Homo-oligomer: A and B are copies of this chain.
Amino acid sequence: MSQLKKSWVDSANSAETPFPLNNLPYGVFSTADTEPRCGVAIGDMILDMQAAEEAGLIEIGDEPVFDVPFWNELMELGSDAWSALRARLGQLLGEGSTERDAVEPLLVAQADAELHMPFLVSEYTDFYAGRQHAANMGAILRGSPDLPANWLHIPIGYNGRASSVVISGTPIHRPNGQRKAPDAEMPSFGPSMRLDIELEMGAIVGKPSEFGQPITVDEADDMIFGYVLLNDWSARDIQGWEYQPLGPFQGKAFGTSISPWIVTAAALEEFRAPTPEREKELLPYLDGSKDGLYDIELQVLMQPEGGDTTSVVGETNYTRMYYSAAEQLCHHAIGGCAMNVGDLLGSGTISGPTKTEYGSLMEMSWAGREPFTLDTGETRTFIEDGDTLTLRGAAKGDGFQIGFGDCVGQILPAVSWPK
């Protein structure tokens, strides 16, 4: 395990900052004076990449890369460019940099910046690859923790809706939709009454695969540019009524929040961790040579409207997944589905084995049957209007941590319908 890499930006040298020189995550920001543009977080500052490129401090590729407010163009350049940029940022921002005088004026305080979507989402896929979550959902919904017959063989996934993916901080309206009570004869229409989160990691595809051509797990691993925290907001009642036989649709399409900073696979490299021992041997196409998970500590926090006390309601770790993002991506392309730069893969809900380690309110409240208590003394089963839900994550090194920035969303009341 490496140690803290020192920067001349003082705030980046704290054991508490999520953004030391070891991290260098990629986001998009604006200020009162500037339109949205690419930036790199360092301590409590952001390096303005557009300005750095214009000043000749960053030269990646033949054309400007940072004249657009998203990171897809860097991804398009391929992994040599990814490595070159990371090395160059280390030079510019590292302790003893000879270019500090040129770089320092290009730093913007995070406190003065608004963050925006860091990349254009091409397509969004959500998986169901947490063993404990799948067992819990089976126990809750079907009365048995037995896994679906295919679960130990396939990283089960479904296509989600890219247009629903929003940056942390975007308020989410409680969705309207169809739901049917078990004892009702007919469905009814109205606001979801079982609104939930799902704590996930999101993997961002940075290299494409060709239509009609499968890929290996190792190739898939190389295609992943970086990771974000991902909250797959879920309307359990809408989902429960709609999902047979073709899977989740409107119960998952009203919002998917991601954290503001893309943490690169390179920054996470030293935190690689193995997938758990296989209960059944996987088919050989799902074999890879690398540890595919990462040791990232994760939290779910909840705060009622108007309160000032935020309660940690769940704590788990990305290593709780059964399938890695590389395995998921390999499976995604194995029939010839073309994968594109900007594709986003949700890991599936990450739950540990005990009740304090669950990644959804469905599990925490056991489908609403067992309310849980916040630090304020209030209880919850599902989300109430005005509640703010936050995901937080960090890989912890020796005297430093690699964070993502909080993934935050407040639930607003449903829009009235019909208008």
- Chain A residues within CB distance 8 Å of chain B: 122-123, 128, 148-150, 153-154, 156-164, 166, 172-173, 175-178, 180, 186-189, 192, 211-214, 216, 235, 238, 241-251, 253-255, 280, 283-285, 331-332, 334-340, 415, 417-418
Contact = CB atoms under 8 A, between A and B. Distances in A.
B211 A244 contact: no
B212 A334 contact: no
A247 B158 contact: yes
Given A128-B246, A150-B187, A244-B148, A253 B123 contact: no
Q: Which of A187, A235, A284, A332 has the most CB of B within 10 A?
A: A187
B334 A177 contact: yes
A193 to B, nearest CB: 13
A172 to B, nearest CB: 8
A163 B123 contact: yes
Nearest to A214: B417
B173 A250 contact: no
Given A150-B187, A178-B154, A337-B161, A166 B211 contact: yes
Contacts of A214: 176, 415, 417
Contacts of A249: 156-159
A417 to B, nearest CB: 5
Contact of A338 (B164, B186, B251, B338): B164
Chain A interface main SS type: loop
Contacts of A253: 332, 335-337
Q: Which of A149, A211, A331 has the most CB of B within 10 A?
A: A211
30 contacts: A122-B163, A148-B245, A150-B187, A150-B242, A150-B244, A154-B178, A154-B242, A156-B242, A157-B249, A158-B246, A159-B159, A159-B249, A161-B337, A163-B211, A163-B340, A177-B334, A186-B280, A187-B283, A188-B283, A211-B255, A213-B415, A216-B418, A235-B335, A238-B335, A245-B247, A247-B247, A250-B334, A251-B335, A254-B336, A285-B418
Nearest to A280: B186
A264 to B, nearest CB: 24
Given A162-B123, A164-B211, A340-B163, A177 B242 contact: no
Contacts of A339: 163
Give 5 closest A-B pairs by Cβ, nearest first. A247-B247, A175-B335, A253-B337, A159-B159, A158-B246
A331 B336 CA distance: 30
Nearest to A251: B335
A158 B160 CA distance: 8
A335 B177 contact: yes
B173 A212 contact: yes
A83 to B, nearest CB: 26
A332 B250 CA distance: 7
